[in-house]
Amino acid sequence: TPKSHSIEGLINKRLPSEAIRLLRELGDTGDALGLSVYAVGGFVRDLLLGMENLDMDVTVEGDGIFFAESFARTHGCRVRSHPAFSTAVIVRPDGSKVDVASTRLEYYESPGVLPTVERSSLRHDLYRRDFTINTLAFCINKDRFGLLTDYFGGQQDIQERIVRVLHNLSFVEDPTRVFRAVRFEQRLGFHIAPHTENLIRNAVRMNVLDKVGGTRLLNELILILREREPVRAVFRMAELGLLPSIHPALKQVGEAERVIHETTQVLAWFRLLYLKDHCEQWQVYFLALCDRLKQEEFVGICKRLSVPGRVVSRVFGLRNRALGVLEAMQRRLKHGPPIRNSEVYYCFQGLPLELLLYLAARTRHEEIRRFVSLYITHLRQVRCTLDGIALQQMGIKPGPELGYVMKHLLTARLDGTITTTEEERSMAMSLIRQST
């Protein structure tokens, strides 16, 4: 029998009243249907830790889809259900979501007796979870509201800040849990328990990750690289041997250490600009992680991880070109005349932010970092006042000639040799005269 005590006081103290109301409403639906309903998983873990987390997961002892649909009907919500997994997502009018799972329906099948849901089905359900800290549940039905169920010692592990699996075959059953262990350890500032760490090392030695599909591996990696401070997790993965089991070339990730640390700095700088542009942090770190890799190795890793085509065509597929640009710039700084703004512009044009930030992290030249900064904050927004239509009205025919004049004007704008519409107009005129 599990330890069970009420955390209603904690719920009332730590959760916003809106969240408490939602929990109670979900509980009421459970009462009306005669089903036990529990808040479970990361939501409960973070509540006990005092960390903000309003992603609610509930588990219904019984049919979760039926529960979700009933709740939605009476509360004006929509439902997306996944019958294959007996799960559903309640989408509330404000767009917030509640994940609903079902414990497996298990019946005592004795003839003549009405089927009853097996009492311990919640325990069964929680036993399939990754770590003890994620196995806590509290009931949200009215008569037991806030009653915490702790089958596997999750409370103690939260108190002692330990990430621990429930059983020895956990990582064999689902190898992606090795990444989840690192993610929780680093995010929460916990420690992977010594025995659990041994199980990870054994699993890695047994190459269990080889059997995991690319997409699942990539998703776990993305979750880590999207964390607020992923660097320690990256080196922890390296230390546990997780990275080489993705691809042998990732063995030397230590050589990329400088670039990985610089990436953190560059991303912090970028965030302070408060630009509207979205930047995928995980992609910048991914590029940093692969810094020392040859192009074929990089392509190999992308293949192994089934990186989606849209990410390849938007970002990763341009890596080689970006590295070429960086090299050319470095050569030019050593030998050639000073680099003009327009040259910076034409070099970086077409490269997505993620690659630009990676280049800034990678380069050892302060000037190049300044160029990236100048491009992101200023140059890429530069436009001429006279557009194609205005220039055609001045008598320039559409086609190569128009393209030539437009590029010339933009270059002059970028380099600051012209600054007004009047100057644009007279420059366009003299270009027309020259060409005729």
Give the interface segment with ligand ATP, choosing from 105-113, 129-137, 241-249, 263-271 (CB under 6 A): 129-137
Helices 214-225 and 177-188: crossing angle in degrees, nearest 10, is 0
What part of residues 93-122 is at the interface with ligand ATP (CB under 6 A)?
Answer: none
Q: How many of the other CB atoms lie within 10 Å of CB of 276?
A: 5
Cα distance between residue 29 and residue 35, in whole Å: 8
The CB-of-44 to ligand ATP minimum distance in angstroms stands at 9
In the complex with ligand ATP, which residue's Cβ is closer, 196 or 342?
196
Q: What type of residue is 372?
A: V
Cα distance between residue 308 and residue 314, in whole Å: 10
Among 103, 176, 186, 283, indicate the residue that binds ligand ATP (CB under 6 A). Answer: 176
129 binds ligand ATP (CB under 6 A): yes
Cα distance between residue 164 and residue 275, in whole Å: 40
The two structure tokens encoding residue 55: 């992603």
In the complex with ligand ATP, which residue's Cβ is closer, 226 or 314?
226
In the complex with ligand ATP, which residue's Cβ is closer, 102 or 134?
134
The CB-of-134 to ligand ATP minimum distance in angstroms stands at 3
Among 41, 62, 146, 153, indicate the residue that binds ligand ATP (CB under 6 A). Answer: 41
In the complex with ligand ATP, which residue's Cβ is closer, 177 or 362?
177
The CB-of-23 to ligand ATP minimum distance in angstroms stands at 16
Cα distance between residue 419 and residue 406, in whole Å: 15
What is residue 5's DSSP assignment?
A: E
The CB-of-316 to ligand ATP minimum distance in angstroms stands at 25
Cα distance between residue 361 and residue 365, in whole Å: 10
Cα pseudo-dihedral 107, 110, 114, 117, rounded to 10: -20
> Number of residues in contact with ligand ATP, rule: CB under 6 A?
11
Cα distance between residue 252 and residue 99, in whole Å: 40
Q: What is the DSSP string of 35-64?
A: -EEEEETHHHHHHHHT-----EEEEEES-H
The CB-of-180 to ligand ATP minimum distance in angstroms stands at 6
- 371, 329 in Cβ contact below 8 A? yes
In the complex with ligand ATP, which residue's Cβ is closer, 180 or 304?
180
Cα–Cα separations (whole angstroms), residue 66 to 63, 115, 145: 6, 17, 21
164 binds ligand ATP (CB under 6 A): no
What is residue 379's DSSP assignment?
A: G
Give the interface segment with ligand ATP, choosing from 126-134, 161-169, 237-245, 380-388 (CB under 6 A): 126-134
177 binds ligand ATP (CB under 6 A): yes
Question: CB-side exposure of 166: number of CA atoms within 13 Å?
Answer: 22
Instruction: Select the residue whose beta carbon is closest to ligand ATP and give its number.
Output: 42
The CB-of-267 to ligand ATP minimum distance in angstroms stands at 20
In the complex with ligand ATP, which residue's Cβ is closer, 142 or 161?
161
Give the interface segment with ligand ATP, choosing from 170-178, 257-265, 266-274, 279-287 (CB under 6 A): 170-178
In the complex with ligand ATP, which residue's Cβ is closer, 134 or 283?
134
Cα distance between residue 164 and residue 161, in whole Å: 10
Strands 56-61 and 97-102: parallel
Among 14, 28, 42, 188, indicate the residue that binds ligand ATP (CB under 6 A). Answer: 42
Q: Which helix (H) or strand (E) holds 421?
A: helix 421-435
Cα distance between residue 193 and residue 213, in whole Å: 27
In the complex with ligand ATP, which residue's Cβ is closer, 155 or 176?
176
The CB-of-128 to ligand ATP minimum distance in angstroms stands at 6
In the complex with ligand ATP, which residue's Cβ is closer, 176 or 363?
176
The CB-of-55 to ligand ATP minimum distance in angstroms stands at 6
Q: What is the DSSP string of 131-166?
A: BGGG--EEE-SGGGTTEEEESS-HHHHHHTTEE-BS
The CB-of-143 to ligand ATP minimum distance in angstroms stands at 26
What part of residues 193-232 is at the interface with ligand ATP (CB under 6 A)?
Answer: none
153 binds ligand ATP (CB under 6 A): no
The CB-of-219 to ligand ATP minimum distance in angstroms stands at 10
Q: In sequence order, which residues have a C-beta less than 8 Å from that of residue 32 and are 6 or more positions away? A: 70
Among 132, 134, 263, 342, indicate the residue that binds ligand ATP (CB under 6 A). Answer: 134
Residues that bind ligand ATP (CB under 6 A): 41-42, 55, 57, 129-130, 134, 174, 176-177, 180
